[in-house]
Structure 1
Amino acid sequence: MDRSEGFGERLLGVLLDRAHEMPPELIAPLVAEEVARVGGREVSILLQDYEQVLLVPLSGRGLRVGGPEPVEDSPAGEAFLSRRTVEVPQDGSVRMYLPLLDGSDQIGTMAVTLDRVDDDDRRLLRRLAGLVADMIVTKDAYTDLFFRARRSAPMSVAAEIQWSLLPPLSMTVPQVEVAGILEPAYDVAGDSFDYALNGDVLHVAMIDAMGHGLDAATMATVAIGAYRHTRRADTDLSEVYAFMDRAIDQQFGPDHFVTAQMMILNITTGRLQWVNAGHPAPLLIRDRAVVDRLESPTTLPVGFGGEDPVVSERTLHPGDRLLCFTDGLIEEHQAGGEQFGEEQLVEWTNRILRDRTEVRAVVRALSHTLKQERGGTTSDDATIFLIEWRGGDADHLAALDRARDEGPPSLDR
């Protein structure tokens, strides 16, 4: 077996070998140099802003820095939303937009111009974009460089706390996909969500802490911390509720509470279990339309000392989606007007599902459309979290001779 280093391995290997000690600001010039080795130029790294409206350029030596590009109706946005390479012919050249994927989370897009593109270029640049995404996420843990680039408006202290709590906004494996969004992105305080995939079990929680500002953010922090503590101890949902309840009561007293909804989904069988502590019932989507509400007995919000909650169960069908949301989404209204209401939420969900299929794209479109329908502003936090269960397994990803190594095809425009 030939183990000598080829061109592609050498190019990607330099990035891997240097990544461990590389300061964050040196990622850009090294990437630009590596792209030049394959005949590329005009490298741009575009990161998703916190509102999920724009892809904003990262500044750095060797990078082409222009204006932000919209997520909707732009080649960069198409690559971002679809997770596929988009190629745009220009005068004698091709502008390639490659999704920056860390695992399955989408953090932005890398754009490169080449005189011509062949399959070797596509494969190499796709893998380079994957490495760049991993480096950005890793370095983000100890720099403000990428946070500042993504922030397109002033952010409150409470919102900074909430964003530091969140897991990736999306996650995809063959059996299940999830995506979430928070409003208002730069002033959110009490809303939050969390999830974890442990073996065949997907754990999900959504919370809404009472009040606004730092008090709400502090309660949300304690609630999410208590949830993670019990989830990692492998306790059942009723015990998770009880522990969160005690944590909020002991820390904040009897006049404070957090509404919550906790779920467990077996991604192999589709068996769903959930506990509702004051949240609106999730909507069940099947065949691209809302078909039911997951009605269930509710217990008191976390912090009020409710009785042991009833754990509800349901078996999903492959392709089913669950739309979870906080009450700020449906209770918001313009001054003097009626509340937005669940009926309008269902109506707009069905409209959007007719035009869009990707989970992340549906969440974004629904959140932004509903915000516009509510007058473009919100006086309360509003959160959407969408789960799609597909079933099956992911064994092919662990077998070298069965893995789909070539990745997704490009989308020519």
Structure 2
Amino acid sequence: MSDQHPNTRRTDRFDLRAIYETSQLLSSSLDLEFVLSNLLRTAMGKLLVTKGAALLYDPLAAAYSIPAVKGISGLEKGGSLVLTNVDLENTMQDDRVPAQLQEVGIKLVFPVAFGHREIGLIGLGGKFTGQPFEDQELEFMASLVNMSSAAVHNSLMVEELKLANRDLDSKVQQLNTLFDLSQEFNSTVDRSGLVKLLTFALMGQMLVKEHIFLIRSMSDDTRTDSGVHIVTAKGIRKDELSSDVTEALCKVEELVLLDGENTPEGCEILKEKGFSLILPIRQQGEVGALLCLGAKMTGQAYQPDEIEFLYALGNLAFVSLHNSYLVDDQLEKERLEEEMRLAREIQERLQPTELPKFDGIETASLALPSRHVAGDYFDAIELDKDRILYAIADVTGKGVPASLLMSNLQACLRILVPLDLSLEEGTAHMNRVITENTGYDKFITYFHGIFNKKDSSFKYVNAGHNPPTLVRADGSIELLEEGGLLLGVLAGMPYESGTVTLNPGDVLAMFTDGVTEAMSPEGEEWGEERLEPLLASIRTKTAEAILDDVHEAIKEFTHNAPILSDDLTMIVLKTT
């Protein structure tokens, strides 16, 4: 027979039944708040304490959250604590309780674990009677916590599953939203529509009003000096985003939260205007855009999944807006190409499509622009039944400016021809007009001459042009150099003429420097030293054949370069 006192046996049975009943109650529920509240209430009732708290360990934050608290003013439900010197194996009492819990009146702490997982802590204040805890009470609480840990663990798992499901639902919603947005972004290249779409997405999904979206290295006239185009700015004026601010933003490579310590130098105005973060948008490893956001209207901080959503949204906006600029560039390019094509057609009409046929002389011509339009000019004007004028010129530069000056020269020549001026007078008048109507850095090398079939004479004036090469029937070579200064340098300059007789079999080649300065792939010029011997060797051929041979020699020398280094123009005359 046992000699244990009957009251002790009743207490043991009561305590064992309480443990069992509490365990069954807690195991019947998967509500974490219910489980922790009842566990805490049972512990406080059995140990006669008025203060208690349940703490759950968050391994990501390395801190303890407070889901349940009773009678402790220093702890707030929903708050968190970072504790030190926590004994996860044994009950902690009095001085062994972590100092942070001692400060709020907790005298007794029981670790809660399930398997190898740390779940949290149950903390209790002292007994309201002021008496110390008895061993029997400590054993009861240890058993209660141990048997209840499975229920706490299960309810915690349910909460984590609920949270995971909410996160999954949120992810699905974000993906659906991004899918819908991608369709809308891809359906238009209208920049204002894309900006509105971005604005509505930020307000609808993130509840954010203040935002800035910048795109780097856009070829647009409204770019800032730092190479950043301000696509949209809400909550701050565009003129407040100075070049210093945008240059500072260009240096941001990673996500930046704008607080007192992390605000990049030069971006203080964003902090002052209530912006919370700077998000660089990368494409192919390079930062192509920057998204700056203000605080959410809810006052909540940005969560990691929201940051991911913003990255995806920023990339959608960047690609679509970048494409809109590319479309604009393409349309502008096509417009310019069409304008250049029309300019080329007009220029071709200003020059003869073929040289006039004239008794006693064969002619051939070639004009190849290095760009759409050229600065070279040639012409042939029949003055009367016995005389014909040939002209060739080269305007400084290339492209549109040179072609406009060439058109001016052509008009000037066509106006002067009916006045029946001498070559010297005509050249002087042209020089005056060109000088008065062009800048100091624009000038023209010019050569013109008149062939008279009565006496086979060729009278000419050379205004600084490449001297035409006259190859006599016997192979000897003369250069036509008489004249004066090139056009457009100084008004009032006098010009002299020269005269040669073109005998049967003689060949006269007039050309611009695009012929002699044609470049090989190695950067060598073709030069007069190749042109003159070639002309002498093929002088017996027809004018057309001579021109073709020169052209073929140049193409071979330049390896048939698709883009010429300069405009190339040549006229070949051969007397018969």
1:373 aligns with 2:557: yes
Q: Output one character per residue of 1:90-118: Cα deviation in whole Å (capped at 9) or x when no partner.
A: xxxxxxxxxxxxxxxxxxxxxxxxxxxxx
Q: How does 1:342-353 map to 2 (within 5 A)?
A: 342-353=528-539
1:164 aligns with 2:349: yes
Tell me the distance in 2 between the aligned counterparts of 1:182 and 1:290: 26
Residue 255 of structure 1 corresponds to which residue in structure 2? Answer: 441
Do the aligned partners of 1:178 and 1:359 also contact (CA within 8 Å) in 2?
yes
Tell me the distance in 2 between the aligned counterparts of 1:379 and 1:232: 36
Two-structure CA RMSD over aligned residues (Å) = 2.4
1:177 aligns with 2:362: yes
How far is the alpha carbon of 1:352 from its aligned partner? 4.0
Residue 312 of structure 1 corresponds to which residue in structure 2? Answer: 498
Q: Output one character per residue of 1:178-230: Cα deviation in whole Å (capped at 9) or x when no partner.
A: 22101238734101101112221111110111111111111001111111211
Match of 1:245 among 410, 431, 435: 431
Tell me the distance in 1 between the aligned counterparts of 2:542 and 2:451: 20
Residue 226 of structure 1 corresponds to which residue in structure 2? Answer: 412
Q: How does 1:18-167 map to 2 (within 5 A)?
A: 156=341, 158-167=343-352
Do the aligned partners of 1:184 and 1:382 also contact (CA within 8 Å) in 2?
yes
Tell me the distance in 2 between the aligned counterparts of 1:158 and 1:291: 41
How far is the alpha carbon of 1:373 from its aligned partner? 1.5
User: In the alignment, residue 386 of structure 2 is paired with which amino acid?
Assistant: D
1:389 aligns with 2:389: no
Query: Could you say which structure has the higher helix fraction?
Result: 2
SS at match of 1:187: coil
Q: Output one character per residue of 1:351-382: Cα deviation in whole Å (capped at 9) or x when no partner.
A: 4446xx22223223322331331222321011
Do the aligned partners of 2:363 and 2:543 also contact (CA within 8 Å) in 1?
yes
1:271 aligns with 2:484: no
Do the aligned partners of 1:169 and 1:181 also contact (CA within 8 Å) in 2?
no
User: In the alignment, residue 214 of structure 1 is paired with which amino acid?
Assistant: V
Q: How does 1:209-224 map to 2 (within 5 A)?
A: 209-224=395-410
1:300 aligns with 2:458: no
- The two structures have a TM-score, normalised by structure 2, of 0.38
How far is the alpha carbon of 1:169 from its aligned partner? 2.2
Do the aligned partners of 1:181 and 1:385 also contact (CA within 8 Å) in 2?
yes
User: In the alignment, residue 168 of structure 1 is paired with which amino acid?
Assistant: T
Tell me the distance in 2 between the aligned counterparts of 1:387 and 1:314: 13
Q: Output one character per residue of 1:13-43: Cα deviation in whole Å (capped at 9) or x when no partner.
A: xxxxxxxxxxxxxxxxxxxxxxxxxxxxxxx
Could you say if the C-alpha distance between residues 255 and 380 of structure 1 is closer, same or farther in structure 2, counting changes exceeding 3 Å?
same
Match of 2:526 among 330, 340, 353: 340
Match of 1:323 among 509, 531, 542: 509
How far is the alpha carbon of 1:162 from its aligned partner? 2.5
Could you say if the C-alpha distance between residues 155 and 215 of structure 1 is closer, same or farther in structure 2, counting changes exceeding 3 Å?
closer
SS at match of 2:377: strand
Do the aligned partners of 1:171 and 1:179 also contact (CA within 8 Å) in 2?
no
Q: How does 1:5-20 map to 2 (within 5 A)?
A: none
Between structure 1 and structure 2, the one with the greater Rg is 2
Do the aligned partners of 1:282 and 1:325 also contact (CA within 8 Å) in 2?
yes
Which is bigger in relative contact order (C-alpha 8 A, separation at least 6)? 1
Do the aligned partners of 1:348 and 1:366 also contact (CA within 8 Å) in 2?
yes
Do the aligned partners of 2:371 and 2:398 also contact (CA within 8 Å) in 1?
no
Could you say if the C-alpha distance between residues 273 and 173 of structure 1 is closer, same or farther in structure 2, counting changes exceeding 3 Å?
closer
Do the aligned partners of 2:360 and 2:575 also contact (CA within 8 Å) in 1?
yes
Tell me the distance in 1 between the aligned counterparts of 2:453 and 2:427: 22
Do the aligned partners of 1:175 and 1:268 also contact (CA within 8 Å) in 2?
no
Residue 291 of structure 1 corresponds to which residue in structure 2? Answer: 476
Do the aligned partners of 1:162 and 1:192 also contact (CA within 8 Å) in 2?
no
How far is the alpha carbon of 1:302 from its aligned partner? 1.0
Tell me the distance in 1 between the aligned counterparts of 2:378 and 2:400: 17
How far is the alpha carbon of 1:157 from its aligned partner? 5.0
1:203 aligns with 2:389: yes
User: In the alignment, residue 297 of structure 1 is paired with which amino acid?
Assistant: E
Number of corresponding residues: 235
Could you say if the C-alpha distance between residues 371 and 160 of structure 1 is closer, same or farther in structure 2, counting changes exceeding 3 Å?
farther
Do the aligned partners of 2:396 and 2:442 also contact (CA within 8 Å) in 1?
yes
How far is the alpha carbon of 1:176 from its aligned partner? 2.0
Residue 372 of structure 2 corresponds to which residue in structure 1? Answer: 187
Residue 284 of structure 2 corresponds to which residue in structure 1? Answer: none
Could you say if the C-alpha distance between residues 184 and 218 of structure 1 is closer, same or farther in structure 2, counting changes exceeding 3 Å?
closer
Could you say if the C-alpha distance between residues 352 and 183 of structure 1 is closer, same or farther in structure 2, counting changes exceeding 3 Å?
farther
Could you say if the C-alpha distance between residues 185 and 158 of structure 1 is closer, same or farther in structure 2, counting changes exceeding 3 Å?
farther
Match of 1:361 among 523, 540, 545: 545
User: In the alignment, residue 489 of structure 2 is paired with which amino acid?
Assistant: F
SS at match of 1:173: coil
Do the aligned partners of 1:202 and 1:265 also contact (CA within 8 Å) in 2?
yes
How far is the alpha carbon of 1:388 from its aligned partner? 2.0
How far is the alpha carbon of 1:325 from its aligned partner? 0.7
Tell me the distance in 1 between the aligned counterparts of 2:401 and 2:441: 13
SS at match of 2:356: strand
